[in-house]
C-alpha cells in the first residue's frame, strides 16, 4: 500500500517535470536558448492556479490562464533579453525567477507570503489516496501527451528545421531569411506556456503553493534532465525527467538504510553536479542523441534512395 502510493506519487512528478523538461528542450535543445529562469514561469502557472481556484474558477480555466500568463511574461522577458548574447540571456532570466520568488515571499496580502496559500482541489478526496493520485496521473499525462505531440510535430517540420538552424549559426540563418528575433520570441512564449501549465498541475496536485517550492534549484534540476536525456530529442527529455526523479527519490530512500555522517539530501546536489560534469565530459550529446528531422517527404526520399543504393551494390 505504502509502496504503491509512493510509486504513484513518483509517476505524477515524472509527468509534471516531463512537461517542464520538454519545454526547456524546445528552448535549449532545439533553439539554443539558455533559459536559466524556467522556475519563474513554473511559479507563475502555480500561483495563478492557486489564486484562481480559490475564487471558484473551473480547473481547466485555471490551467489555461496560468499558461497564458506565463507566455505573456515569457514574451515580456524575452523581448529585451533576446537581443543579448546567450550568456546574458541566461543571467537575465535567472534574475527574473529570483525576483518573482522574492516578491511572492515578501507580499502578505495576496498569497500568504512565506506561508503560502492553499489550492481548491478539483478532485474531492474520496477516502483513498490511491484514487486521488490516479486521477491526478490522468490529468497530468493528458497534458503531457498534448505537449509532447506539439513539440514533436514542431521538431519534425520546416519550423523545427529553422529553429535548429538558428541554434547552429544565427547569422547564417538570418542571411537565409529567418528572423531570429521572431523565432526566438515564439519559442520562448511557447516554452513558458508549457512551464506555466506544469506549474498549475503541480499546484493542483500538492494543493498548496509556497515560495520555497520555487527555488532556483528547480531550474537546474530541469537542466539536468535535458542534458542527461539528450538535448534536441524529445524522448530524451522524458527519459531524463524520469531518471532524475528516480535518482532523487532513490537517495532519499537510501539515506534511511545507509548511515552516513552527512545528510544524503544535501549530497544530492553534489551528486547532480558530478553527474553533469561526467555527462558533459564523456557523453555531451546525452543518453539519446539528437533526433533527425523526419518529415513525410524526407522519409519518402530516404527510402527511395536506400533502394537505389542497394541496387547499386548488387
Partner 1 sequence: MEEELLRIREVSKHFGGVYAVNGVSLDIDHGGICGLVGPNGSGKTTLFNTILGLHKPDQGDIHFKGKCINNLAIHQIYDLGLVNAFQLPRLFFNLSVLDNMLVAARGQQGDRLYNSLFLRGRWQEQEKGLIEEALDILEVVELTQWAFSPAGELSGGQRKLLEVARGLMAKPRLLLLDEPAAGINPVLGKKIFQKLKDFSYNGIAFFIVEHRLEILFDFATWVYVMDKGKVVIAGEPQAIIDDPTFYAVYLGEE
> Is there binding between residue 300 and partner 1 (CB under 8 A)?
yes
- Which of 18/160 has CB closer to partner 1? 160
Out of 4, 128, 252, 295, the only residue in the binding site for partner 1 (CB under 8 A) is: 295
Out of 66, 116, 160, 211, the only residue in the binding site for partner 1 (CB under 8 A) is: 160
Rounded CA-CA distance 259/159 in Å is: 52
Do 195 and 23 touch, CB atoms closer than 8 A? yes
Rounded CA-CA distance 207/123 in Å is: 11
> Is there binding between residue 294 and partner 1 (CB under 8 A)?
no
How many binding residues for partner 1 (CB under 8 A)? 35
> Is there binding between residue 146 and partner 1 (CB under 8 A)?
no
Residues in 169-208 that interact with partner 1 by CB under 8 A: 169, 171-179, 186, 190
Rounded CA-CA distance 217/223 in Å is: 10
- Which of 58/158 has CB closer to partner 1? 158
Quick one: how far is CA 256 from the chain centroid?
Answer: 30
Rounded CA-CA distance 277/271 in Å is: 10
Do 10 and 246 touch, CB atoms closer than 8 A? yes
**Alpha helix ranges (H) inside 82-108:** 86-106
> Is there binding between residue 303 and partner 1 (CB under 8 A)?
no
Provide the minimum distance between the beta carbon of 177 and partner 1 in the complex, in angstroms, as a whole number.
4
- Which of 25/136 has CB closer to partner 1? 25
Contacts of 93 (CB under 8 A, 6+ apart): 35, 36, 37, 40, 77, 81
Out of 61, 277, 293, 307, the only residue in the binding site for partner 1 (CB under 8 A) is: 293
- Which of 3/171 has CB closer to partner 1? 171
- Which of 105/164 has CB closer to partner 1? 164
Rounded CA-CA distance 107/47 in Å is: 13
Rounded CA-CA distance 135/131 in Å is: 6
> Is there binding between residue 158 and partner 1 (CB under 8 A)?
yes
Binding site for partner 1 (CB under 8 A): 150, 153-154, 157-162, 164-165, 168-169, 171-179, 186, 190, 290, 292-293, 295-298, 300-302, 305
Amino acid at each position: 500500500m505504502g509502496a504503491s502510493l509512493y510509486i504513484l506519487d513518483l509517476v505524477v512528478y515524472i509527468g509534471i517535470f516531463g512537461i517542464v523538461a520538454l519545454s526547456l528542450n524546445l528552448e535549449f535543445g532545439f533553439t539554443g536558448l539558455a533559459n536559466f529562469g524556467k522556475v519563474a514561469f513554473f511559479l507563475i502557472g502555480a500561483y495563478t492556479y492557486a489564486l484562481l481556484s480559490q475564487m471558484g474558477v473551473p480547473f481547466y480555466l485555471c490551467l489555461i490562464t496560468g499558461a497564458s500568463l506565463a507566455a505573456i511574461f515569457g514574451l515580456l522577458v524575452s523581448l529585451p533579453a533576446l537581443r543579448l548574447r546567450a550568456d546574458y540571456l541566461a543571467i537575465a532570466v535567472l534574475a527574473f525567477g529570483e525576483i518573482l520568488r522574492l516578491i511572492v515571499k515578501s507580499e502578505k496580502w495576496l498569497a500568504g507570503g512565506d506561508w503560502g496559500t492553499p489550492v481548491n482541489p478539483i478532485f474531492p478526496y474520496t477516502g483513498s489516496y490511491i484514487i486521488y493520485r490516479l486521477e491526478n496521473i490522468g490529468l497530468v499525462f493528458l497534458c503531457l501527451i498534448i505537449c509532447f505531440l506539439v513539440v514533436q510535430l514542431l521538431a519534425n517540420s520546416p519550423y523545427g528545421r529553422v529553429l535548429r538552424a538558428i541554434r547552429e549559426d544565427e547569422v547564417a540563418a538570418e542571411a537565409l531569411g529567418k528572423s531570429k528575433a521572431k523565432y526566438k520570441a515564439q519559442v520562448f512564449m511557447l516554452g513558458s506556456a508549457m512551464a506555466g501549465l506544469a506549474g498549475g498541475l503541480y499546484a493542483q496536485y500538492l494543493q498548496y503553493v509556497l515560495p520555497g517550492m520555487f527555488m532556483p534549484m528547480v531550474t537546474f534540476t530541469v537542466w539536468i534532465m535535458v542534458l542527461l536525456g539528450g538535448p534536441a530529442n524529445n524522448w530524451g527529455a522524458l527519459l531524463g525527467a524520469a531518471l532524475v526523479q528516480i535518482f532523487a527519490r532513490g537517495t532519499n530512500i537510501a539515506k534511511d538504510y545507509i548511515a552516513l555522517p552527512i545528510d544524503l539530501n544535501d549530497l544530492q546536489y553534489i551528486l547532480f553536479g558530478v553527474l553533469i560534469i561526467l555527462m558533459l565530459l564523456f557523453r555531451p550529446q546525452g543518453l539519446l542523441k539528437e533526433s533527425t528531422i523526419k518529415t513525410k517527404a524526407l522519409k519518402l526520399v530516404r527510402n527511395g534512395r536506400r533502394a537505389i543504393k542497394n541496387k547499386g551494390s548488387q
